[in-house]
Amino acid sequence: MIRYVIRRIMLLVFTMFITSIIIFALTQLLPGDIARLVLGRDASPVALEEFRETHHLNDSVPVQYANWLKGFITGDWGRSFTRGNPQVRPLIMDRLANTARLGVMILVLSVPLSILLGVVAALNEDGILDSIIAVFSLAVVGLPEFVTGVVLINVFAHQLDWFPSVSFVSSSYSFGDWLRALFLPSLTATLVLLAYIARMTRAGVIDELKKPYVRTATLKGLPQRQIIVKHVLRNALMPTITVIALSMGWLAGGLVVIEQVFNFPGLGRELVDAVTAKNTPVLQAIVMLIIFVYASANLVADVMYGILNPRIRLE
Amino acid sequence: MEDAIIRVENLFIDYRLGKTWHNVIHDVTLNIRPDTIHGLVGESGSGKSTLALALMRYLAPNARIPSGNITFDGQDLLSKSTREMRDIWGQLISLVPQDSLAALNPSYTVGDQIAEITRRHMGIARRESAERAVEMLHRVKISDPADVAKRYPHQLSGGMLQRVAIAMALSTSPKFLILDEPTTALDVTTQVVILDLFRALIHDNHAAALYVSHDLGTIAQLCDDVTVLYGGEIMESAPVKTLFAAPTHPYTIGLLRSLPRYSEESESRLETIAGIAPSLANRPTGCVFAPRCPIANSQCHAEKPPLTATDDGGLVRCWRWRDVATEGLGEQPKVPLSQAVSAETDKPLLAARNIVKHFGSRSVFDKLTGQLFSPVRAVDDASITIRHHSTLGLVGESGSGKTTLARCIVALNSADSGEIELDELPISNRLNERPKTMLRDMQMVFQNPADTLNPYHTVGQALGRTLKRLSLDALSPAEIESRVVDLLQSVRLTADYAQRYPAELSGGEKQRVAIARAFAADPALVVADEPTSSLDASVQAVIMNLLKDLRIEKGASYLLISHDLDVIAYLADWIAVMYLGQIVEEGSTHAVYASPYHPYTEALISAIPTPDPAIDNPIIYLEGEVPSAKNIPSGCRFHTRCPRKIGAICETEEPPWQDAGEGHCIRCHIDVAELIRQQNSPQEQRRGTR
């Protein structure tokens, strides 16, 4: 098992290295001259040249890459091109913390709920409850986030006034403030994930219920609840874990729409801003972070898989 | 007579298919007394598993019991709710399943899974239940129970898992046990040990047991009473000795006669039961067996016979059982086997020498970390020779490498080293280096015919495609069509089978089509890998006769692989016994079967259950399990389990080949004459008798 984890970590580092090359290459392909974009159309040639010089834009691409990689590893992620040239790292870390809070809230909300719905649906396979869950979850997954988000804001924020509509956050927030602020965006994302995880769980549970060991457990006289929770779920949730891990990756970067709707200062919104402004230091750092979260989520999923599945752990 | 612990009266079970209910179990009456093992024998589709599980009141979701009674220990099981049954399941009635690997949860240790049942029913603490699990594993004769309890199912062998399943079923000392084909997946050497365990443990507990099997051999050796099920109805039920000595139902007689048995007269045929088992949807109105019965009369076709008590205390469902009892069934007309073409048995058709095939390779990571690597040595220096117009039977326990050796010969796997010669000409070990014409010369018949036929091609398309690809000259569609009909006829199927899809064929018919395909291009050698082991006894007999006929008609040779020594003894004229990747004994079937010299062959043959309870041959028990092919013992590979091991030489030196005459050779350090002396000593005769 330890060998297996070491192997996976080696693979993660290698993946990060390859993606860093791809990201760097892609940012070079973004249209427009960075200096002109940042300084504006009226900038003098001298100012442009000075900008290129201070940001090492005149170096050859491999040299730029080597410098950037060295900086990235040592923790110097460069300075943003935006006004005041703030350090990239603290800026992004602040955003990442916000997104992480939102992500955790989404997982806490969506995972137990969707697994519960999936199990209930599987135990009532083709019954009325199964159909209701299927119709409900597919109906919400069909709606884009900006529609559900706007509807939720209208109902819960404007009409009922239970939760704030704008997730403007401040560092002075208490835990309760955070919960209230994060509730509506989390609910929006949960509705997206719900159908996905629930369907996966349902399929897994139905598959496992057909296996002979379930009959063995039944004929041992075990109570139904113990059979489902102890025997079936442990095996049925393995594919679900992968789906949840992939969703974590999605949460890191894919919350763009939700963050826009709720005006939430997270990584996704920062990423969009960086792309439009061709703010390459910020862009590269965010993409690296997203890849890292994505790959580590997969690693965590694989390790969980190993813990749950002795056939992998003991190989 | 002691009162029965379980009584089944006039039980009916229906299955729902689509919107209609079909009757699968019809009017079954059964009593099982404590301290007895009741055998339930039947072919696939006879409803034996459905019936067995129904005795626990466990039914498939689409099944119902329209009428009948099941009484267990004075309680009416059918009136109980599932919740009430959970107190009986596992505590008073337990199941030992067929495939114990699938029947155990892969994610928990076997110790946990045994402990769970005692915690549930005996109300004991976690710690105590874990200790009890180890104790149970000890009772089923597992040598290192504390260690095995900590293992997961996938880390144990089939024989060990079956013991675990028995330990689990017996840990609450239930009054009634259902054994659902518990030894079908095991090798004979393991099977004898498991059967002995059943016998001892069931009698220790004074439990009653229902032993479900399709194998009359194990039934004869284990059971006290037998019920024969056909088409969901009891055909006959009697004490085991009566049933085997004087069967009164034509189906029972047919079943017993269709079993392959070794006989010195090699040109005999197996007797068969004509026709196929009835399907769910259309059951005959009269006797369910009438359409296949050789002595059925108009009454049999019109009216269902009642279950009648015989004079010997048995039950039989037949109008003519008194006629059968006095006159017998009559002999089937002896159909002589097809006449042999002149046999040139001296020249080898195929010679494979020193074949080696190892699996697995060292990964980059292993090399980086300096991890030691041992490959699976599936075939490790094995040589066989197949003569023209003859059948070589290759036997051995699972994991002995027999299938890999066969696959190396037809180049489905390419051997790592070794030479293969066809008609005394060397051929390559790799398929893509062999000329196309060689595909014609060697064909293969696989174990499971259902997997080898494309479900979307008709039989005609499947055979036509093979003909087109393998025939020498371009065939016109009309020629292909007529050849397909010829092929179908050669496997005793009518021409209209060409239009059918595999789903419309029975298991036996599928295997015939697979055999027809193998013979499409007139091969010189047909490799048949367990060709009958997925088939029922009555169908197996038909296929074995067919294989014997075709070999003679088409002048082919066979390499026949089987774990079933009876099948080999019946079909093969030369036997090679394989153990851990090497041949340990070979010789003519007669010589090897009648006087096996190698201690391994001797044990293997002694372990075959005889379908006759009157015969009680001494069994030679082998110690332990077949070692892993990743870690083969030094010296003689068999020394770890050999009952005749003579000393250090067995552990250090590879044994030499010894010729006992007429090509009967063994690989053993002990002199053949000494082996014969030991086998015949009076002390030996007593050893191992039950």
Q: What is the pLDDT of residues B359-371, one digit of tens each?
A: 877 666 666 666 6
Mean pLDDT of A224-249: 87
The 10 Å Cβ neighbour count of residue A178 is: 16
Chain A positions touching B108 (Cβ under 8 A) are: 231
Which is it for strands B20-32 and B6-17: parallel, antiparallel or unpaired? antiparallel
Would you call A146 an interface residue with chain B, using a CB distance cutoff of 8 Å? no
> Is residue A281 scored above 90 in pLDDT?
no
| Candidate from A7, A213, A219 with C-beta closest to B105 | A213
> Is residue B341 scored above 50 in pLDDT?
no
pLDDT attached to residue B587: 93
> Is residue A183 scored above 60 in pLDDT?
yes
Per-residue confidence band for B690, with pLDDT thresholds at 50, 70 and 90: very low
Contact B369 A3 (CB under 8 A): yes
Q: Which of B185, B600, B627, B28 is nearest to B376 (CA)?
A: B627
Q: Coil, strand, or helix at residue B667?
A: strand
Torsion angle of the four alpha carbons A11, A15, A17, A18, in this order, in degrees rounded to the nearest 10 = 130
Contact A311 B154 (CB under 8 A): yes
Q: Summarize pLDDT for B15-66 with one digit per residue, the tens.
A: 988 888 888 999 999 999 999 999 999 888 788 999 999 999 999 888 999 9
> Is residue B345 scored above 70 in pLDDT?
no
Would you call A235 an interface residue with chain B, using a CB distance cutoff of 8 Å? yes
pLDDT attached to residue A121: 93
Chain A positions touching B174 (Cβ under 8 A) are: none
pLDDT attached to residue B267: 59
Radius of gyration of chain B (CA): 27
> Is residue B685 scored above 60 in pLDDT?
no
Kindly report the pTM of this predicted structure: 0.82
What string of DSSP letters covers B43-89? -TTSSHHHHHHHTTT---TTEE--S-EEEETTEEGGGS-HHHHHHHB
Per-residue confidence band for A167, with pLDDT thresholds at 50, 70 and 90: low
pLDDT attached to residue B462: 92
Q: Summarize pLDDT for B275-289 with one digit per residue, the tens.
A: 777 776 778 888 999
Q: Which residues of B touch A (CB under 8 A)?
A: 56, 58, 85-91, 94-95, 97, 99, 102-109, 116-117, 120-121, 152, 154-155, 168, 365, 369
Structure tokens at B147: 């260690």
- The shortest C-alpha distance from B88 to chain A (Å) reads 7
> Is residue B258 scored above 70 in pLDDT?
yes
CA atoms within 13 A on the CB side of B169: 32
Chain A positions touching B97 (Cβ under 8 A) are: 212, 215-216
pLDDT attached to residue B346: 67
Residue with the bigger pLDDT between A253 and B319: it is: B319
Q: Summarize pLDDT for A38-89 with one digit per residue, the tens.
A: 777 777 888 888 878 777 777 788 888 888 888 888 888 877 777 677 788 8
Chain B positions touching A238 (Cβ under 8 A) are: none
Would you call A311 an interface residue with chain B, using a CB distance cutoff of 8 Å? yes
Chain B positions touching A234 (Cβ under 8 A) are: 105, 107
Q: Summarize pLDDT for B166-212 with one digit per residue, the tens.
A: 999 999 999 999 999 888 878 888 888 889 888 988 888 889 999 99
* All residues at 6 or more sequence positions from A301 whose CB lies less than 8 Å from its CB, including other chains: A241, A242, A244, A245, A246
Helices and strands in chain A, H and E counts: 15, 0
Write the ipTM: 0.80
Mutation choice for B interface testing from A213, A304, A308, A314 by most B CBs within 10 A: A213
Over chain B, what is the mean pLDDT? 87
- Separation between Cα atoms, residue B372 and residue B183, nearest integer Å: 36
- The shortest C-alpha distance from B86 to chain A (Å) reads 4
Q: Coil, strand, or helix at residue B173?
A: coil
> Is residue A192 scored above 80 in pLDDT?
yes
- The shortest C-alpha distance from A29 to chain B (Å) reads 36
* All residues at 6 or more sequence positions from B406 whose CB lies less than 8 Å from its CB, including other chains: B394, B444, B527, B529, B559, B561
Q: Summarize pLDDT for B529-568 with one digit per residue, the tens.
A: 988 887 888 788 888 888 988 888 888 999 999 888 888 8
- The shortest C-alpha distance from B7 to chain A (Å) reads 20
- The shortest C-alpha distance from A129 to chain B (Å) reads 18
Would you call A211 an interface residue with chain B, using a CB distance cutoff of 8 Å? yes
- The shortest C-alpha distance from B23 to chain A (Å) reads 23
B365: closest chain A residue by CA: A7
